[in-house]
Amino acid sequence: MLHSTYPQIRSFLEYLQFEKRYSQHTIISYQTDLEQFFTFLISQYDGPAISAITPGFIRSWLAEMRNEQMTAKSLNRKISSLKSLFKYLLKMGEVNQSPLTTIVSPKVGKRLPAFVAQNDMETLKQYVEFPDTWKGHTDKLLLELFYATGMRLSELIGLKESHIDQANSQVKVLGKGNKERIIPVSKNLIVGLADYMQNKRQLSQPSSCPNLLVNEKGKPLYAKYVYNVVKANLSQVTTLQKKSPHVLRHTFATHLTNNGADLNAVKELLGHSSLAATQVYTHNTIDKLKDIYKKAHPKA
């Protein structure tokens, strides 16, 4: 019913998949938002033609979601999904103007990203023991990779053996929108990666999988597994409420900026498309600020 009334949804999602080459995860997010909006249109306004959609229809939908206590961040994502759809429809000549031009996105309160303290990461590296098994080696390596590169969860799972440049001690990462970036890593990590790849050939079920990280059956890791490994190991060294792969990404960026890294360099390493997204890492820990104050202020 929904897609027969609004076939534009399907063609837009195919455009994202085949032309923009967005990830499946991103496409599902767009699909969820759009189907929710157009289901609302059908139930409340009998499914008007797409060219007859007005700002009033959109405001009514947003008001309903606000009444359901939806956060400003989630509302902004839904507005962004609709804006992308109508930008596509304008390009295809299906509408003459976007009904989103007068829609104002709600302000989102800025929240500092959670990160693991530097000494806690050192504790994880030095004192948390991993079993001498394939799972133990894999778990240890994925934690090292997250902290050494700031990769997203999807990027780590999709990392291929061919992306490891041993000669130049660097890793090629395929990020959002299929954008490639190069991340330098330490010689020690490169040696660890080389050993891991070599040992893959000696698994009881030798892996032909191109993915770097695999389980003991030679199959690629799945997101929930990686998430659980990170959570379990961070629980041993930090009392942070959030213990996710993204926290390790925040930790990577925060430790770089706290130790004097240029913000533009951090932006490139993270694969951010704009500097605005990286500026959240200009915060410093209180301890760091105290240290800077003591060293720099003449009366300290």
272 is catalytic: yes
Cα→Cα distances 290→118, 253, 285, 293, Å: 16, 20, 9, 5
Residue the block writes with tokens 């806690």: 120
176 is catalytic: yes
Structural domains of the chain, count: 2
In this structure, the answer to whether residues 163 and 59 fall within a common structural domain is no
pTM of the model: 0.69
In this structure, the answer to whether residues 31 and 149 fall within a common structural domain is no
> Which residues make Cβ contacts (< 8 Å) with residue 90, sequence separation at least 6?
96, 97, 98
In this structure, the answer to whether residues 46 and 189 fall within a common structural domain is no
In this structure, the answer to whether residues 233 and 163 fall within a common structural domain is yes
Name the catalytic one among 78, 249, 250, 267.
249
Q: Tally Cβ neighbours within 10 Å of residue 234.
A: 24
In this structure, the answer to whether residues 289 and 175 fall within a common structural domain is yes
249 is catalytic: yes
The residue among 109, 100, 5, 10 whose CA lies nearest residue 56 is 100
281 is catalytic: yes
In this structure, the answer to whether residues 225 and 125 fall within a common structural domain is yes
Name the catalytic one among 77, 83, 137, 246.
246
> Which residues make Cβ contacts (< 8 Å) with residue 200, sequence separation at least 6?
206, 207, 214, 218
10 is catalytic: no
Q: What are the tens digits of pLDDT across the range 171-222?
A: 999 998 788 999 999 999 999 999 999 999 888 666 678 999 999 988 999 9
Q: Is position 111 within any domain?
A: no
- Domain extent, residue 31, equals 2-92
Cα→Cα distances 23→2, 86, 121, 136, Å: 23, 20, 31, 29
* Range from 11-20, 80-89, 175-184, 242-251 carrying the lowest mean pLDDT: 175-184
Domain holding 23: CATH number? 1.10.150.130
> Which residues make Cβ contacts (< 8 Å) with residue 125, sequence separation at least 6?
144
